[in-house]
Amino acid sequence: MQRRNELDALRGIFLLLMVSVHLPTVVNGFASEPLGYADAAEGFVFLSAFLVGSIYTPLMFQRGIAYVRERLWKRARKLYGYHLLLLLFLFVIVATVATVTHSIALHNYLLVFFSHPVWAVASSPFLVYQPPLLDILPMYIV
């Protein structure tokens, strides 16, 4: 499938809507679920799945299922690596900053980590414990 600019534009709009929902502004109320019960995150996930299907289905017929399986596993490993790097950053840098600065907001963000550090660190690579705001990327891995 050739790249479609309108689908890229729609993904960009979904990303802007998702960012605006998380900002404490007047736009938050407008951008939250503008299409009824569906919101930008669901639209982005649907569109991402659609694009993966439309890209890899023709490849499956051209090069075979083994080739597509290997490409998808490669993509999942890459995303998993990014997730592990984010966890490392969170557990080392952010936790250190929270401890040194006595930041209540950061401490609350990492409450499970500070309450059960061994469990949090041990279960995170297995995607059992997913810290707040880091539960999105694993959705694209699994």
Enumerate the domain spans of the chain. 1-63, 64-142
SS3 18: helix
**Taking a C-beta distance cutoff of 8 angstroms, is the pair 11, 44 a contact?**
yes
Q: By the 8 A CB rule, do 38 and 30 touch?
A: no
Is 110 within 8 Å of 102 (Cβ atoms)? no
CA distance 55 to 104: 45
Q: pTM, whole model, 2 decimals?
A: 0.78
Per-10-residue mean pLDDT of the chain, 142 residues long, equals 81 83 69 66 87 91 96 94 95 94 90 95 94 84 77
pLDDT at 31: 63
Length in residues, the chain: 142
